[in-house]
Chains A and B, each alone.
Chain A
Amino acid sequence: METTEVGVAEKVEIKLIIVYGTNKPLDVERAETIETVKLGAMGEFGIPAGEKDQYILKAKVDSKEEQLDEAKTVEHYHLHDDQKVTLAAGTPFGGE
């Protein structure tokens, strides 16, 4: 019987590691926006969704740590399985 090689489709869902003092896994889809990921990450740490404007996500992109644009997607940043993503305060300074 003839066999054919079947290509492995890229996984739609990946597991990010959200870092906020401790590390917690978060399953996300590649098409999800960063804002959705942030809300999921906040939920993992018991932070109310109403405080979303006080937080940002940061990750290493091309070896450089940068703040992720919430309108963009997981796919856009090529975030991968087990990648660490930092949940951090977005406006820690007074008067901003």
Chain B
Amino acid sequence: MTEVASPEDASKAAVQEQYAMVVAQQDEYGWESIDLDIGDYLVLFIRIAKPEGRQFVMRLRCDDYPEIAPEMRFVAPAVFEHPTDTVEPAAEFYPTGASVVEAGQRGPLPVLCIKGHRDYYAGGWHGGWTNPPAHDHALYQLVMNVRNAILDRWA
């Protein structure tokens, strides 16, 4: 008898497929990554450093991926050493610059106007999220896009 994967396991498998690509390219692009299985879903932490020194740690909460896009938050860089899902994000940990909506405009935290994360599509702000996600909206591409923007566009 064939065992049917639970929705949670199917979601984790979809995230793992994308996360494997993130891991495979981290030496090339200079990010670091950690995955955390908290039971029902996976949480990813991606650390990206600007050459001038500022570090960013992006937390991607991948509940119900790819039905819905991952929730992206920026947390204190030190969290990367001991990551937990319960750590609180804060505006001070976000990048700043073009395509970053300031805290208070779309919620209590800044929102990055970049494809591939939940807030980008919330409330019909933008379209384009599908299941499965199109190539340019998928999780790996989100990591690449944020990395490129941190290096080229954001402070």
Contacts and interface: CB of A to CB of B under 8 A. Distances in A.
Contact of B125 (A47, A54, A58, A94): A94
B103 interface: no
A18 B144 CA distance: 14
Interface in B98-155: 98-99, 113-116, 120, 125-126, 135-136, 140-141, 144-145, 148-149, 151
Interface in B13-54: 18, 21, 24-25, 28
Contacts of B151: 65
A58 B126 CA distance: 26
A45 to B, nearest CB: 7
A7 interface: no
A62 B145 CA distance: 22
Q: Tell me the dominant secondary structure on chain A's binding face.
A: strand
Interface string A66-96: 0000000000000000001010110011111
Contacts of A65: 151
A28 interface: no
Nearest to A45: B135
Contact of A89 (B28, B120, B126, B145): B145
